[in-house]
Structure 1
Amino acid sequence: MVAADTARTILVTGAGRGLGRVLAERLAARGDRVVAHARSAAALEGVPCERALVADLEDPAGLADAVAAAGIERLDALVHNAGVLNVGAVAEESLEWWHRSMTVNVVAPAELTRLLLPALRAARGHVLFLNSGAGLSAAPRLGSYAASKHALRALADSLRAEERGNGLRVTSFYPSHFDTDMQRDLREQYGSDYDRSRAMSAETVAATILGVLDAPEDMVVNELRVEPPNPLPVRERA
Protein backbone atom coordinates (compact mmCIF):
# COMPACT_ATOMS: atom_id res chain seq x y z
CA MET A 1 0.00 0.00 0.00
CA VAL A 2 1.40 3.38 -0.98
CA ALA A 3 1.23 6.35 1.37
CA ALA A 4 -1.59 8.80 0.75
CA ASP A 5 0.83 11.58 -0.19
CA THR A 6 2.53 9.39 -2.81
CA ALA A 7 -0.61 7.88 -4.37
CA ARG A 8 -0.86 8.64 -8.06
CA THR A 9 -3.71 9.11 -10.50
CA ILE A 10 -3.40 6.60 -13.35
CA LEU A 11 -5.73 6.10 -16.30
CA VAL A 12 -5.94 2.64 -17.85
CA THR A 13 -7.76 2.14 -21.14
CA GLY A 14 -9.54 -1.14 -21.77
CA ALA A 15 -9.90 -1.71 -18.03
CA GLY A 16 -13.03 -3.82 -18.29
CA ARG A 17 -11.26 -7.13 -18.81
CA GLY A 18 -7.98 -8.93 -19.31
CA LEU A 19 -4.74 -7.11 -18.63
CA GLY A 20 -6.52 -3.78 -18.16
CA ARG A 21 -8.67 -5.13 -15.35
CA VAL A 22 -5.71 -6.84 -13.68
CA LEU A 23 -3.72 -3.63 -13.87
CA ALA A 24 -6.59 -1.58 -12.40
CA GLU A 25 -6.92 -4.08 -9.55
CA ARG A 26 -3.19 -4.00 -8.81
CA LEU A 27 -3.05 -0.21 -8.85
CA ALA A 28 -6.12 0.21 -6.65
CA ALA A 29 -4.90 -2.43 -4.20
CA ARG A 30 -1.74 -0.49 -3.53
CA GLY A 31 -3.60 2.81 -3.09
CA ASP A 32 -3.30 4.57 -6.43
CA ARG A 33 -6.28 6.50 -7.78
CA VAL A 34 -7.49 4.61 -10.85
CA VAL A 35 -9.36 6.17 -13.75
CA ALA A 36 -10.78 3.16 -15.58
CA HIS A 37 -11.75 3.38 -19.24
CA ALA A 38 -14.16 1.13 -21.12
CA ARG A 39 -16.63 1.57 -23.95
CA SER A 40 -19.60 1.13 -21.56
CA ALA A 41 -20.31 1.57 -17.88
CA ALA A 42 -21.45 -2.04 -17.68
CA ALA A 43 -18.01 -3.23 -18.76
CA LEU A 44 -16.52 -1.58 -15.67
CA GLU A 45 -18.77 -3.37 -13.20
CA GLY A 46 -16.57 -4.66 -10.38
CA VAL A 47 -13.47 -2.77 -11.55
CA PRO A 48 -11.98 -0.81 -8.61
CA CYS A 49 -11.63 2.80 -9.65
CA GLU A 50 -12.01 6.33 -8.36
CA ARG A 51 -13.75 7.42 -11.55
CA ALA A 52 -14.69 6.05 -14.95
CA LEU A 53 -14.00 7.26 -18.45
CA VAL A 54 -16.68 5.78 -20.67
CA ALA A 55 -15.92 6.23 -24.36
CA ASP A 56 -15.88 4.23 -27.57
CA LEU A 57 -12.40 4.31 -29.10
CA GLU A 58 -13.95 3.62 -32.50
CA ASP A 59 -15.32 7.17 -32.25
CA PRO A 60 -12.32 9.37 -31.35
CA ALA A 61 -14.41 12.49 -31.97
CA GLY A 62 -16.39 11.61 -28.83
CA LEU A 63 -13.34 11.51 -26.57
CA ALA A 64 -13.29 15.25 -25.92
CA ASP A 65 -16.68 15.21 -24.20
CA ALA A 66 -15.77 12.11 -22.19
CA VAL A 67 -12.50 13.61 -20.98
CA ALA A 68 -14.20 16.89 -20.09
CA ALA A 69 -16.84 15.01 -18.09
CA ALA A 70 -14.15 13.10 -16.18
CA GLY A 71 -12.61 16.37 -14.97
CA ILE A 72 -9.01 15.15 -14.85
CA GLU A 73 -6.77 18.07 -13.90
CA ARG A 74 -3.65 16.13 -12.96
CA LEU A 75 -2.64 12.74 -14.34
CA ASP A 76 0.47 10.86 -13.28
CA ALA A 77 0.25 8.11 -15.88
CA LEU A 78 -1.76 7.12 -18.93
CA VAL A 79 -1.62 3.46 -19.91
CA HIS A 80 -2.87 2.80 -23.44
CA ASN A 81 -3.90 -0.84 -23.07
CA ALA A 82 -7.02 -1.14 -25.26
CA GLY A 83 -6.66 -2.49 -28.78
CA VAL A 84 -8.17 -4.65 -31.51
CA LEU A 85 -6.75 -7.35 -33.78
CA ASN A 86 -7.89 -9.22 -36.87
CA VAL A 87 -6.11 -11.99 -38.76
CA GLY A 88 -6.28 -11.54 -42.51
CA ALA A 89 -3.97 -11.50 -45.50
CA VAL A 90 -3.53 -8.19 -47.28
CA ALA A 91 -5.32 -9.71 -50.27
CA GLU A 92 -8.35 -10.46 -48.09
CA GLU A 93 -8.44 -7.87 -45.31
CA SER A 94 -11.57 -5.71 -45.45
CA LEU A 95 -11.54 -1.94 -45.58
CA GLU A 96 -13.63 -1.99 -42.41
CA TRP A 97 -10.87 -3.77 -40.50
CA TRP A 98 -8.17 -1.45 -41.82
CA HIS A 99 -10.20 1.51 -40.59
CA ARG A 100 -11.00 -0.12 -37.27
CA SER A 101 -7.40 -1.19 -36.56
CA MET A 102 -5.97 2.24 -37.29
CA THR A 103 -8.74 4.09 -35.46
CA VAL A 104 -8.74 2.09 -32.23
CA ASN A 105 -5.02 1.30 -32.08
CA VAL A 106 -3.56 4.61 -33.25
CA VAL A 107 -5.96 7.51 -33.81
CA ALA A 108 -7.83 7.13 -30.52
CA PRO A 109 -4.64 6.87 -28.40
CA ALA A 110 -3.26 9.94 -30.18
CA GLU A 111 -6.42 11.94 -29.54
CA LEU A 112 -6.78 10.79 -25.94
CA THR A 113 -3.16 11.69 -25.27
CA ARG A 114 -3.63 15.11 -26.85
CA LEU A 115 -6.66 15.82 -24.70
CA LEU A 116 -4.89 14.74 -21.53
CA LEU A 117 -1.56 16.48 -22.16
CA PRO A 118 -2.35 19.44 -19.88
CA ALA A 119 -3.06 17.05 -16.99
CA LEU A 120 0.02 14.95 -17.81
CA ARG A 121 2.26 18.01 -18.04
CA ALA A 122 0.95 19.25 -14.68
CA ALA A 123 2.15 16.02 -13.07
CA ARG A 124 5.26 15.55 -15.23
CA GLY A 125 3.57 12.27 -15.98
CA HIS A 126 4.20 9.07 -17.87
CA VAL A 127 2.54 7.71 -21.03
CA LEU A 128 2.88 3.98 -21.63
CA PHE A 129 1.80 2.50 -24.95
CA LEU A 130 1.08 -1.22 -24.89
CA ASN A 131 2.55 -2.26 -28.21
CA SER A 132 3.33 -5.76 -29.50
CA GLY A 133 6.02 -7.81 -31.15
CA ALA A 134 4.00 -7.04 -34.28
CA GLY A 135 5.02 -3.43 -33.81
CA LEU A 136 8.61 -4.44 -34.48
CA SER A 137 8.23 -7.19 -37.09
CA ALA A 138 5.14 -7.91 -39.19
CA ALA A 139 4.03 -11.52 -39.57
CA PRO A 140 1.89 -12.97 -42.38
CA ARG A 141 -1.86 -12.29 -42.05
CA LEU A 142 -1.34 -9.55 -39.48
CA GLY A 143 -0.98 -6.63 -41.88
CA SER A 144 -3.59 -4.26 -40.44
CA TYR A 145 -2.67 -5.01 -36.83
CA ALA A 146 1.08 -4.78 -37.41
CA ALA A 147 0.70 -1.58 -39.41
CA SER A 148 -1.25 -0.01 -36.55
CA LYS A 149 1.35 -1.09 -34.00
CA HIS A 150 4.22 0.23 -36.13
CA ALA A 151 2.31 3.52 -36.29
CA LEU A 152 1.82 3.42 -32.52
CA ARG A 153 5.58 3.17 -32.08
CA ALA A 154 6.00 6.24 -34.30
CA LEU A 155 3.42 8.09 -32.20
CA ALA A 156 5.34 7.24 -29.03
CA ASP A 157 8.66 8.30 -30.54
CA SER A 158 7.29 11.67 -31.67
CA LEU A 159 5.55 12.30 -28.35
CA ARG A 160 8.74 11.49 -26.45
CA ALA A 161 10.79 13.94 -28.49
CA GLU A 162 8.15 16.67 -28.30
CA GLU A 163 7.35 16.42 -24.59
CA ARG A 164 10.74 15.65 -23.09
CA GLY A 165 11.20 19.32 -22.20
CA ASN A 166 7.89 19.24 -20.31
CA GLY A 167 9.10 16.40 -18.12
CA LEU A 168 6.92 13.68 -19.65
CA ARG A 169 8.21 10.13 -19.85
CA VAL A 170 7.05 7.93 -22.73
CA THR A 171 7.41 4.15 -22.94
CA SER A 172 6.69 1.69 -25.73
CA PHE A 173 6.14 -1.74 -24.17
CA TYR A 174 6.30 -4.83 -26.41
CA PRO A 175 5.02 -7.95 -24.60
CA SER A 176 4.73 -11.09 -26.73
CA HIS A 177 2.77 -14.26 -26.00
CA PHE A 178 0.85 -13.47 -22.84
CA ASP A 179 -2.36 -15.09 -21.73
CA THR A 180 -5.23 -12.90 -22.91
CA ASP A 181 -8.44 -13.25 -24.89
CA MET A 182 -6.68 -11.50 -27.79
CA GLN A 183 -3.89 -14.09 -27.85
CA ARG A 184 -6.37 -16.95 -27.77
CA ASP A 185 -8.48 -15.32 -30.49
CA LEU A 186 -5.41 -14.74 -32.66
CA ARG A 187 -4.44 -18.40 -32.45
CA GLU A 188 -7.99 -19.54 -33.10
CA GLN A 189 -8.10 -17.42 -36.25
CA TYR A 190 -4.74 -18.81 -37.32
CA GLY A 191 -5.76 -22.39 -36.54
CA SER A 192 -2.76 -22.54 -34.21
CA ASP A 193 -2.30 -24.49 -30.99
CA TYR A 194 -2.27 -22.62 -27.69
CA ASP A 195 -0.55 -23.58 -24.45
CA ARG A 196 -1.02 -21.07 -21.64
CA SER A 197 1.84 -22.69 -19.69
CA ARG A 198 4.15 -21.33 -22.40
CA ALA A 199 2.72 -17.81 -22.20
CA MET A 200 3.27 -15.04 -19.68
CA SER A 201 0.37 -14.39 -17.33
CA ALA A 202 -1.53 -11.12 -17.31
CA GLU A 203 -0.36 -10.72 -13.71
CA THR A 204 3.28 -10.91 -14.81
CA VAL A 205 2.75 -8.32 -17.53
CA ALA A 206 0.85 -6.04 -15.13
CA ALA A 207 3.69 -6.30 -12.59
CA THR A 208 6.17 -5.35 -15.29
CA ILE A 209 4.10 -2.29 -16.22
CA LEU A 210 4.02 -1.24 -12.56
CA GLY A 211 7.80 -1.57 -12.45
CA VAL A 212 8.15 0.72 -15.46
CA LEU A 213 5.75 3.29 -13.99
CA ASP A 214 7.62 3.12 -10.67
CA ALA A 215 11.02 3.87 -12.21
CA PRO A 216 12.95 6.60 -10.35
CA GLU A 217 12.30 10.14 -11.54
CA ASP A 218 15.82 10.42 -12.96
CA MET A 219 15.26 7.51 -15.37
CA VAL A 220 12.84 6.47 -18.09
CA VAL A 221 12.38 3.16 -19.88
CA ASN A 222 11.90 4.29 -23.47
CA GLU A 223 11.31 0.81 -24.88
CA LEU A 224 10.93 -2.63 -23.32
CA ARG A 225 10.42 -5.97 -25.04
CA VAL A 226 9.50 -9.09 -23.05
CA GLU A 227 8.40 -12.64 -23.83
CA PRO A 228 8.11 -16.00 -22.04
CA PRO A 229 11.20 -18.24 -21.89
CA ASN A 230 9.75 -20.83 -24.31
CA PRO A 231 6.92 -19.26 -26.33
CA LEU A 232 4.79 -21.49 -28.53
CA PRO A 233 5.13 -20.25 -32.13
CA VAL A 234 2.00 -19.06 -33.89
CA ARG A 235 1.61 -21.42 -36.85
CA GLU A 236 -1.13 -23.37 -38.50
CA ARG A 237 -1.67 -26.93 -37.36
CA ALA A 238 -0.28 -29.53 -39.74
Structure 2
Amino acid sequence: MPTAMITGASRGVGAAVARALAPTHTLFLAGRPSPDLDAIAAEFGATTWPMDLADFDAIPTVVEPIDQLDVLVHNAGVAYPGRVAESTVDEWRSTMAVNVVGPVALTLALLPALRAARGHVVFVNSGSGINVSPGLASYASSKFALRAFADSLRNDESSLRVTSVHPGRIATEMQEELVAYEEREYDPSQFLSPETVAQVIADAVHAPPDAHIREVVVRPR
Protein backbone atom coordinates (compact mmCIF):
# COMPACT_ATOMS: atom_id res chain seq x y z
CA MET A 1 0.00 0.00 0.00
CA PRO A 2 1.07 3.61 -0.42
CA THR A 3 2.39 5.37 2.67
CA ALA A 4 1.10 8.47 4.45
CA MET A 5 2.67 10.47 7.27
CA ILE A 6 0.30 12.58 9.37
CA THR A 7 1.50 15.10 11.93
CA GLY A 8 -0.57 15.90 15.01
CA ALA A 9 -2.37 12.58 14.63
CA SER A 10 -3.20 11.95 18.29
CA ARG A 11 -6.60 13.68 18.26
CA GLY A 12 -8.95 16.00 16.39
CA VAL A 13 -8.43 16.42 12.66
CA GLY A 14 -5.20 14.41 12.68
CA ALA A 15 -6.83 11.34 14.20
CA ALA A 16 -9.77 11.70 11.79
CA VAL A 17 -7.38 11.88 8.82
CA ALA A 18 -5.70 8.70 10.08
CA ARG A 19 -9.08 6.95 10.13
CA ALA A 20 -9.96 8.25 6.66
CA LEU A 21 -6.68 7.10 5.08
CA ALA A 22 -6.18 3.85 7.00
CA PRO A 23 -8.10 1.66 4.49
CA THR A 24 -5.84 2.73 1.61
CA HIS A 25 -2.49 3.73 3.16
CA THR A 26 0.17 2.46 5.52
CA LEU A 27 0.21 5.12 8.22
CA PHE A 28 3.18 6.87 9.82
CA LEU A 29 1.81 8.88 12.75
CA ALA A 30 4.10 11.72 13.78
CA GLY A 31 3.89 13.74 16.96
CA ARG A 32 5.02 14.10 20.52
CA PRO A 33 4.86 10.75 22.36
CA SER A 34 1.55 10.31 24.19
CA PRO A 35 -0.95 7.60 25.14
CA ASP A 36 -3.40 9.14 22.64
CA LEU A 37 -0.93 8.77 19.77
CA ASP A 38 -0.16 5.20 20.81
CA ALA A 39 -3.88 4.41 20.90
CA ILE A 40 -4.48 5.71 17.38
CA ALA A 41 -1.46 3.75 16.14
CA ALA A 42 -2.72 0.56 17.81
CA GLU A 43 -6.15 1.03 16.25
CA PHE A 44 -4.69 0.84 12.73
CA GLY A 45 -1.49 -1.11 13.24
CA ALA A 46 0.37 2.09 12.38
CA THR A 47 3.90 3.18 13.19
CA THR A 48 4.54 6.13 15.50
CA TRP A 49 7.29 8.61 14.71
CA PRO A 50 8.11 10.59 17.89
CA MET A 51 8.74 14.13 16.80
CA ASP A 52 8.72 17.68 18.15
CA LEU A 53 8.20 20.06 15.23
CA ALA A 54 9.88 22.83 17.20
CA ASP A 55 13.09 20.77 17.43
CA PHE A 56 14.15 21.46 13.85
CA ASP A 57 17.62 19.93 14.11
CA ALA A 58 16.28 16.55 15.24
CA ILE A 59 13.74 16.11 12.43
CA PRO A 60 16.11 14.82 9.69
CA THR A 61 17.41 12.05 11.95
CA VAL A 62 13.88 10.96 12.90
CA VAL A 63 12.70 10.55 9.29
CA GLU A 64 16.00 9.31 7.81
CA PRO A 65 14.76 5.69 7.43
CA ILE A 66 11.95 6.80 5.08
CA ASP A 67 13.14 6.49 1.49
CA GLN A 68 9.76 6.78 -0.22
CA LEU A 69 6.62 8.59 0.94
CA ASP A 70 3.39 8.95 -1.01
CA VAL A 71 1.52 11.42 1.19
CA LEU A 72 2.58 13.93 3.83
CA VAL A 73 -0.23 15.63 5.76
CA HIS A 74 0.85 18.66 7.76
CA ASN A 75 -1.83 18.89 10.42
CA ALA A 76 -0.07 19.75 13.71
CA GLY A 77 -0.47 23.33 14.87
CA VAL A 78 -0.88 25.67 17.81
CA ALA A 79 -2.93 28.79 18.40
CA TYR A 80 -2.70 31.46 21.07
CA PRO A 81 -5.88 33.55 20.98
CA GLY A 82 -5.15 37.23 21.25
CA ARG A 83 -5.10 40.50 19.39
CA VAL A 84 -1.77 42.10 18.54
CA ALA A 85 -1.51 44.16 21.74
CA GLU A 86 -2.37 41.11 23.87
CA SER A 87 0.20 38.83 22.26
CA THR A 88 3.75 38.16 23.39
CA VAL A 89 6.97 37.56 21.50
CA ASP A 90 7.19 34.05 23.00
CA GLU A 91 3.73 33.24 21.61
CA TRP A 92 4.75 34.46 18.16
CA ARG A 93 7.98 32.45 18.33
CA SER A 94 6.15 29.27 19.34
CA THR A 95 3.42 29.75 16.73
CA MET A 96 5.86 30.27 13.89
CA ALA A 97 8.05 27.37 15.04
CA VAL A 98 5.26 24.78 15.11
CA ASN A 99 3.00 26.13 12.35
CA VAL A 100 5.61 27.20 9.79
CA VAL A 101 9.28 26.36 10.41
CA GLY A 102 8.52 22.84 11.65
CA PRO A 103 6.53 21.92 8.53
CA VAL A 104 9.26 23.46 6.37
CA ALA A 105 11.93 21.41 8.18
CA LEU A 106 9.91 18.20 7.89
CA THR A 107 9.16 18.78 4.20
CA LEU A 108 12.81 19.44 3.40
CA ALA A 109 13.90 16.31 5.27
CA LEU A 110 11.34 14.19 3.39
CA LEU A 111 11.75 15.81 -0.01
CA PRO A 112 13.88 12.97 -1.48
CA ALA A 113 11.30 10.41 -0.30
CA LEU A 114 8.43 12.47 -1.71
CA ARG A 115 10.21 12.94 -5.04
CA ALA A 116 10.85 9.21 -5.25
CA ALA A 117 7.11 8.55 -4.95
CA ARG A 118 5.97 11.58 -6.98
CA GLY A 119 4.08 12.24 -3.78
CA HIS A 120 1.43 14.54 -2.40
CA VAL A 121 1.89 17.15 0.35
CA VAL A 122 -1.26 18.36 2.10
CA PHE A 123 -1.22 21.43 4.33
CA VAL A 124 -4.12 21.71 6.77
CA ASN A 125 -4.29 25.47 6.74
CA SER A 126 -7.25 27.57 7.91
CA GLY A 127 -9.76 30.17 6.85
CA SER A 128 -7.40 32.46 8.76
CA GLY A 129 -4.83 31.75 6.05
CA ILE A 130 -7.07 33.60 3.57
CA ASN A 131 -8.80 36.22 5.70
CA VAL A 132 -7.41 37.38 9.04
CA SER A 133 -9.67 36.56 11.96
CA PRO A 134 -9.97 38.95 14.92
CA GLY A 135 -8.23 37.69 18.03
CA LEU A 136 -5.85 35.38 16.16
CA ALA A 137 -2.95 37.65 15.27
CA SER A 138 -0.04 35.22 15.48
CA TYR A 139 -2.07 32.25 14.24
CA ALA A 140 -3.36 34.03 11.14
CA SER A 141 0.12 35.31 10.34
CA SER A 142 1.52 31.78 10.55
CA LYS A 143 -1.20 30.41 8.28
CA PHE A 144 -0.54 33.09 5.65
CA ALA A 145 3.12 32.07 5.78
CA LEU A 146 2.22 28.38 5.52
CA ARG A 147 0.09 29.08 2.47
CA ALA A 148 3.02 30.90 0.84
CA PHE A 149 5.32 27.96 1.55
CA ALA A 150 2.81 25.56 -0.01
CA ASP A 151 2.60 27.76 -3.12
CA SER A 152 6.40 27.92 -3.33
CA LEU A 153 6.72 24.16 -2.94
CA ARG A 154 4.17 23.63 -5.72
CA ASN A 155 6.02 26.02 -8.01
CA ASP A 156 9.45 24.53 -7.33
CA GLU A 157 8.66 20.80 -7.21
CA SER A 158 6.73 19.98 -10.36
CA SER A 159 6.68 16.22 -9.65
CA LEU A 160 4.67 16.72 -6.45
CA ARG A 161 1.03 17.46 -5.84
CA VAL A 162 0.61 20.16 -3.19
CA THR A 163 -2.76 20.97 -1.63
CA SER A 164 -3.69 23.67 0.87
CA VAL A 165 -6.94 22.94 2.73
CA HIS A 166 -8.61 25.95 4.33
CA PRO A 167 -11.37 24.80 6.70
CA GLY A 168 -13.62 27.11 8.61
CA ARG A 169 -13.91 26.64 12.33
CA ILE A 170 -13.73 23.01 13.46
CA ALA A 171 -15.14 21.39 16.59
CA THR A 172 -11.84 20.67 18.37
CA GLU A 173 -10.15 21.47 21.68
CA MET A 174 -8.45 24.41 19.99
CA GLN A 175 -11.86 25.75 19.04
CA GLU A 176 -13.09 25.44 22.62
CA GLU A 177 -10.19 27.61 23.76
CA LEU A 178 -10.94 30.23 21.12
CA VAL A 179 -14.64 30.33 22.02
CA ALA A 180 -13.71 30.71 25.69
CA TYR A 181 -11.45 33.64 24.73
CA GLU A 182 -14.41 35.17 22.90
CA GLU A 183 -16.51 34.69 26.05
CA ARG A 184 -19.14 32.69 24.21
CA GLU A 185 -20.77 29.33 24.86
CA TYR A 186 -19.17 26.46 22.98
CA ASP A 187 -21.61 24.58 20.72
CA PRO A 188 -19.84 22.02 18.51
CA SER A 189 -22.86 21.80 16.19
CA GLN A 190 -21.98 25.28 14.90
CA PHE A 191 -18.67 24.07 13.51
CA LEU A 192 -17.28 21.57 11.02
CA SER A 193 -16.59 18.14 12.44
CA PRO A 194 -13.03 16.76 12.27
CA GLU A 195 -14.41 13.85 10.26
CA THR A 196 -15.80 16.20 7.60
CA VAL A 197 -12.45 17.94 7.18
CA ALA A 198 -10.69 14.57 7.08
CA GLN A 199 -13.00 13.41 4.30
CA VAL A 200 -12.19 16.52 2.27
CA ILE A 201 -8.48 15.78 2.71
CA ALA A 202 -8.95 12.13 1.77
CA ASP A 203 -10.87 13.14 -1.36
CA ALA A 204 -7.95 15.35 -2.42
CA VAL A 205 -5.48 12.53 -1.77
CA HIS A 206 -7.61 10.06 -3.74
CA ALA A 207 -8.09 12.36 -6.72
CA PRO A 208 -7.12 10.72 -10.04
CA PRO A 209 -3.39 10.98 -10.79
CA ASP A 210 -3.93 13.48 -13.60
CA ALA A 211 -5.72 15.87 -11.21
CA HIS A 212 -3.89 18.38 -9.03
CA ILE A 213 -6.19 19.88 -6.41
CA ARG A 214 -4.26 22.94 -5.34
CA GLU A 215 -6.58 24.59 -2.84
CA VAL A 216 -9.75 23.61 -1.04
CA VAL A 217 -11.93 26.00 0.97
CA VAL A 218 -14.60 24.42 3.17
CA ARG A 219 -16.94 26.20 5.56
CA PRO A 220 -19.71 25.12 7.94
CA ARG A 221 -23.16 25.25 6.33
TM-score (norm 2): 0.95
The question of 1:36 aligning with 2:29 is answered yes
Q: Does 1:111 align with 2:105?
A: yes
Q: Secondary structure at the match of 2:109?
A: helix
Q: Which residue of 2 is the match for residue 185 of structure 1?
A: 177
2:191 and 2:172 map into 1 onto residues whose CA distance is: 9
2:77 to 83, 86, 89: 83
User: 1:41 Cα shift?
Assistant: 4.8
Equivalent position of 1:220 in the other structure: 212
Deviations 1:109-151 (A, max 9, x none): 0010000011100110000000001111112221100000000
**Aligned mates of 1:192, 1:61 — CA distance in 2:** 40
Counterparts of 1:31 and 1:91, CA distance in 2: 46
Query: Is 1:172 matched up with 2:168?
Result: no
Deviation at 1:19, TM superposition (A): 1.2
2:129 partner letter: G
Rounded Cα–Cα distance in structure 2 between residues aligned with 1:201 and 1:140: 22
Instruction: Tell me the distance in 1 between the aligned counterparts of 2:38 and 2:88.
Output: 33
SS in 1 for 2:139: helix
SS at 2:30 equivalent: strand
1:143 aligns with 2:137: yes
Q: Distance in 1 between matches of 2:186 and 2:208?
A: 37
Conservation of the 8 A alpha-carbon contact between 1:24 and 1:49: no
Unmatched tracts of structure 2, length 5 or more: none
> 1:43 deviation in Å?
3.9
Normalised to the residue count of structure 1, the TM-score between the two structures is 0.88
CA RMSD of aligned residues (A): 1.2
Larger RCO (CA within 8 A; separation ≥ 6): 2
How many equivalent residue pairs?
218
Runs of 4+ with >3 A deviation? none
Identify unmatched segments of 5+ residues in structure 1: 1-6, 230-238
Q: Secondary structure at the match of 1:179?
A: coil
Matched, 1:160 2:140: no
Secondary structure at the aligned position of 1:25 is classed as: helix
Aligned to 2:58: 62
Rg comparison, structure with higher value: 1
